A and B are shown apart, each in its own frame.
Chain A
Amino acid sequence: MDSFIPTVLIVDDSAPLRLLYSTYLKDENVNVYSVSSGRDAIDFISSHRPDVIFLDLYLPDISGFEVLNYVKKQNLDARVIMLTGSGSVDDAVEAMRLGAFDFIVKPIDSARLRVTLRNTTQHLKLKQMVSEFQTSQDVFLGFIGSSPAMKSVYSTIERAAPSSATVFITGESGTGKEVCAEAIHKLSKQKKGSFVPINCAAIPRDLMESELFGHVKGAFTGAVSDKIGAVQRADGGTLFLDEICELDPQLQSKLLRFIQTGKFYRVGSSKLETVSTRIVCATNKDPKLEVRAHHFREDLYYRLYVIPIKLPPLRDRDDDVERIATRFLKNFSQEENKGFTRFSISARQLLMAYDWPGNVRELQNVIHQIVVLNDGDEVTDEMFPESIRKDVLKGGDGSSGAQPQRAVISVGNPYAGKTLAEIERDAIEKTIDSCEGNISKAAKMLGVNQSTIHRKLRSWRDEAQGKSAGVAESGTPEKNTACSGGSPRELPDNKIRITDRHSRRHDNGMVEYD
């Protein structure tokens, strides 16, 4: 905080006054600059971002009000102190109303100018301290954000970490499942041991057992020496099994045995080995649906699903989008040696309006791209990829590009003969349809929380599955791919088909939901 040296700009058309005020401040710990006109002031403000501006109300080209207005419109943190003659106090009061921090009536003596500067810089320092404190509150073991949804996640992590119970993390791709697993490790009793992540989807099936449990020399072609597996590397630490639902069924049973006993065999070995490791696993699928689809062993599911943590998608994390984007902007600007420090108002609106289907990872890539491909100190909405701008505009009213359109429902009598529940369902489906499957936008249009829509969709889905359960039981369960993320399953008694996170309406009236 002591290193903070404010930049001060003096705006006055009189050279003797500019020099005098600068001289008054020469012993203060500030960098002082001065300009003689309003336009020069705006140029300086735009390029140097001063912290304090002593601004004469009457300037030869444009009024001090216009300069003040510029500062406010740009949403700058600068504190503006109006300098005014004794006959212009009303104007100074008006300037205060418009956002000036203080005013001084001319003639100005040294003591008055210095005291005003000190009060102002003190205020700035306090604000910076608050901001630093808030930033520290925004960060939790690799996560950035302080939305209620994330605070709840942090709380669960803190409670779950010290226990030895298995944690099952779910969440869309890019929501930070590995960050969550590492956070649990860092807070756990095993934090001095290794954190060993292993992606069950990235390793070929044939090699997975060896990756997990290791092998001995000659166990298979290419096994030219003994190898320690992930479970052994994680002895005394944490084993993170990402994309657990992708694990081969045969291996699932071996993993279950290992979790139950802590014992395992290396591939090609008959020697039983024992380790003590904390298991954390994750998936971007719904594990219950995977169990129902017979892709994931039920016994393994119950063994692993002890403490569930559901990571919210970025679109459900309120202002976290802006916090995370700002952090990325700062980091990438530093990394790429660029001068970006902030987002314009329109860029912030875009950040908030877009749905970020790829979550934090997508946001990270977009900000990196912006920093690499552009120059300047402020990120504007034009710098965002066209696909994002188009997506937001499509969901907007076409004017600001940031606000979702209200759903328009015809008011003739389209619901005659329908129950209220049917009308509600119809309205929700049509709105989702008009939003091209975007639940978040649909919820905004309908003026409800998106969790309400998700709850209703779930109940309709459950209802549909209940009706079709008989078919699955007596028919061919291996074709039931409802939650595999692959080919969707049609549920004959319902309009819903389950695929990935977005929903779409088909020509036949069917809607796909996540």
Chain B
Amino acid sequence: MTELLDTKVLTQMAGDVGLEVLPQLISVFVDDSTAKLSQFRKLFDNGDWSGLAMEAHTLKSVCATYGAMRCRDEAIAFEKLCKAAEPDRAAIGEKLDSLLGTLRESITAVGGFTLK
């Protein structure tokens, strides 16, 4: 299984933007991702598969950029599931639970990142 957080990514980011700016970026990631948790659930309840695919597409880029690699992988798989010709609600629901669980863990991991 892919590691939850690739700290090298955030370390590189810190080098690129500066240590003083990194907490602000992480804070925005945490707030935005937390808002996504309810957004995903709402789209699922509405059966909005294309909306879910769109959110998963965005999530995978954000996670990859902030080093949340496990969540990125799950978002890729979830996007495919939602884009299926005949989306399977049960399968999507099951995957969504897993994705949101990983996202919560990722939020905690990224939010708690400190440069060693």
A interface vs B, CB < 8 Å? 13-17, 19-20, 23-24, 58, 60, 85, 87, 106-111
Contact = CB atoms under 8 A, between A and B. Distances in A.
B25 A58 contact: no
Contacts of A15: 28, 31-32
Contacts of A19: 24-25, 28
B16 A16 contact: no
Q: How large is the interface on B (under 10, 10 to 19, 20 to 34, 35 or more residues)?
A: 20 to 34
A107 B9 CA distance: 10
Given A16-B66, A110-B13, 19 more contacts: A14-B32, A14-B62, A15-B32, A16-B28, A16-B32, A17-B65, A23-B17, A23-B25, A24-B16, A58-B54, A58-B58, A85-B57, A85-B61, A106-B61, A106-B65, A107-B9, A107-B64, A109-B16, A111-B16
Nearest to B58: A14
B60 interface: yes
Interface of B: 9, 12-13, 16-17, 21, 24-25, 28-29, 31-33, 54, 57-58, 60-62, 64-66, 76
A236 to B, nearest CB: 69
Contact of A24 (B9, B17, B32, B33): B17
Nearest to A88: B57
User: Which 7 pairs, one residue from A and one from B, show the smallest C-beta to C-beta distance?
Assistant: A110-B16, A107-B64, A107-B65, A16-B29, A106-B61, A15-B32, A23-B17
A13 B61 CA distance: 11
A15 B36 CA distance: 11
28 contacts: A13-B58, A14-B32, A14-B62, A15-B28, A15-B31, A16-B28, A16-B32, A16-B33, A16-B65, A16-B66, A19-B28, A20-B13, A20-B17, A20-B25, A23-B17, A23-B21, A24-B17, A58-B54, A58-B58, A85-B57, A85-B61, A106-B64, A107-B61, A107-B65, A109-B12, A110-B13, A110-B16, A111-B16
A13 B32 CA distance: 11
Contacts of B13: 20, 110
B31 to A, nearest CB: 8
A109 B54 CA distance: 22
Contacts of B28: 15-16, 19
A16 B28 CA distance: 6
A107 B63 CA distance: 9
Contacts of B16: 24, 109-111
A87 to B, nearest CB: 8
A14 B17 CA distance: 18
A111 B57 CA distance: 23
A16 B32 CA distance: 7
A87 B16 CA distance: 26
Given A20-B25, A109-B16, A110-B17, A60 B54 contact: yes
Contacts of B76: 87
Nearest to A21: B65
